[in-house]
Amino acid sequence: MKRTLIADLQKSTNKEVEIKGWVNAIREHGKLIFLEVRDITGTVQTITTAKDEPNFKTAKSLTKESCIRIKGKINPRPKGTENKNSPAGNVEIKIEELEIYNKCPALPFDLENKDTSEDIRLKYRYLDLRRPEMQNNLIIRSKIIKVIRDFLNKEGFSEFETPILAKSTPEGARDYVVPSRTQPGKFFALPQSPQLFKQLLMVAGFEKYFQIAKCMRDEDLRSDRQPEFTQLDLEMSFVTQEDIIDLTERLLQKIWKETLNTHIKIPFPKLTYDESMKKYNVDRPDLRKNKNDPKEFAFCWITDFPAFDKSEEKGKLIATHHPFTHPEMQSFNKNPLTAKSIAYDIVLNGTEIGGGSIRIHEEEIQSKVFEVLGINKKEQKEKFGFLLDALKFGAPPHGGIAWGLDRLVQIILGVESIREVIAFPKNKEARDLMLNAPSPLSDKQLKDVHIKLNLPKKK
Ligand code: ASP
């Protein structure tokens, strides 16, 4: 017999079916036992009575969250006892066969208790993810990604993967590094974003690229960040800032329509960086009329960022966006230090959800920008020789944007932290409590990668 999903049970009233899933709740009433069974599509009530001794006995031995199979007949539920919250709430199954696939011991936490500490939830994430809220969060996340893929495919984009074992890309954070076994003393860096790869894909002539990309940044943890996070990363050739803004707006509009059935008005308001700072004293203003309304979505663009900013290191400059951002040439030619850049951020309700820029496609300008940043010719060649070379070979004008996907999903779902929309996040101290990672390496592993530890003294 083929398994029926719980959401499809209604269609088979009065028929014999087989369902598979987990024991969501057990209610014993003397000679009656009700087992509420849950699968990914919903819950349904099943019943056995003391008259049916073998099944009654098995049901009596069951525990919550055990994994089971039930065969039986679907009957309509008596009037007034229907459960409106379930797609199978108006039917019930009279158990004829009950098989236990796997019994569940006492749970480390009550799945229905909303106050469980986050560390416990993360340690037993596979149980936490059984909760309908978490399943909903991740399924909506998957739907959003599907909307993105469908939309961008229709617009002529191709999806490419880029390496994880890579070289430092200056996105402004520390790199996570991976030691090389075969090349002693050398390290890969995990990408802080696919920035240079996507630019090289433009040099290669693909014209429209996107990726749902993992990015790794070893930052001091602020409360709601993750050391690894997901970006929607995209890049286009032969475009202006306006083209990227327009594409972003249409895609956001589509996502809001498909997931929240909400129409958002485009184009979004635009403010220059100077205007925003003057008027709101921040570069990511919250333009909601009523800041307590969870259904209000106020998008805006911030443009014309200063190209460079003072670094913590005295006398040094850093790129406000990143060093591959095209400066606005009139201001750059006048005085690089006060130049503007062709960079833009998309802001939603006071949160920066994405940022991008038109890139430098001319080798001389890229080299000049590196110089302004205090990177001399020798260092340029060592670190970015491949890019400077590539730009010489007929590189097209290009630009793009990246969105923080976790944050976007969080805002759409209106949940408290990005950890609620990531299947296996790290905790606030950047630890994976389920895997217990990071963890020490064996002496053999350390030796293999030519590493001797020099640990800080224990206090
Ligand atoms: N790579 C940039 C970032 O991660 C985004 C972009 O310029 O496309 O911030």
For every residue of 322-351, DSSP letters joined together read -TTBPBPHHHHHH-GGG-BBSEEEEEETTE
Ligand 1 pocket mutation pick from 199, 214, 322 by most atoms within 8 angstroms of CB? 322
Asked if 67 and 36 touch (Cβ cutoff 8 Å), the reply is: no
Q: Would you say the CB of residue 286 lies under 6 angstroms from ligand 1?
A: no
3-class secondary-structure state, position 209: strand
Between the CA of 208 and the centroid of ligand 1 the distance, in Å, is 16
156 sits in which H/E element: none
Q: Residue 246 has what pLDDT?
A: 98
Q: Would you say the CB of residue 195 lies under 6 angstroms from ligand 1?
A: yes
pLDDT mean over 243-267: 97
Give tens-digit pLDDT for 377-396: 999 999 999 999 999 999 99
Considering the entire predicted model, what is its pTM?
Answer: 0.95
Question: 303: exposed, middle or buried (C-beta count within 10 Å: 0-12, 13-18, 19+)?
Answer: buried
d(C-alpha 369, C-alpha 323), whole Å:
7
Between the CA of 377 and the centroid of ligand 1 the distance, in Å, is 24
Q: Residue 12 has what pLDDT?
A: 87
Q: Residue 329 has what pLDDT?
A: 97
Q: Residue 170 has what pLDDT?
A: 63
**169 — pLDDT class (breaks 50, 70, 90):** low
Ligand 1 pocket mutation pick from 211, 215, 232, 233 by most atoms within 8 angstroms of CB? 233
**14 — pLDDT class (breaks 50, 70, 90):** confident
Ligand 1 pocket mutation pick from 171, 190, 305, 320 by most atoms within 8 angstroms of CB? 171
**208 — pLDDT class (breaks 50, 70, 90):** very high
Q: Would you say the CB of residue 425 lies under 6 angstroms from ligand 1?
A: no
Q: Would you say the CB of residue 55 lies under 6 angstroms from ligand 1?
A: no
Residues 6+ apart with CB under 8 A from 220: none
Whole-number average pLDDT of the chain: 95
